[in-house]
Amino acid sequence: MDQGKIDRINVLARKSKAEGLTQAEKAEQDLLRKEYIATIRRNLRSQLDNIDVVNPDGTTENLGEKYGNKGAN
């Protein structure tokens, strides 16, 4: 998500608190928020899939390989 969209989310949030939003602005805000949350989830999933755990017996196992591919998000 680019900085312009994040700035637009912030502008709409401030306007919502100050004077309220039109129906079109509410729809735009909802769409932008959903896109932002999807981006955050995708980034978090990517980070979690790259975690390696060292077991007590000395072996390493990648959590992404163990748990990451078990279903759609």
Render 11-62 in DSSP notation, one character per residue. Answer: HHHHHHHHT---HHHHHHHHHHHHHHHHHHHHHHHHHHHT-EEE-TTS-EEE
Tokens of 63: 């959590």
Q: What is residue 64's predicted lDDT score, i.e. its pLDDT?
A: 81
Higher pLDDT, 69 or 29: 29
If you count them, how many residues does the chain have? 73
Let me know: does 12 contact 18? Beta carbons within 8 Å. no
User: In 10 A of CB 60, how many CB atoms?
Assistant: 8
Q: How does residue 37 score in pLDDT terms, banded at 50, 70 and 90?
A: very high
pTM of the model: 0.72
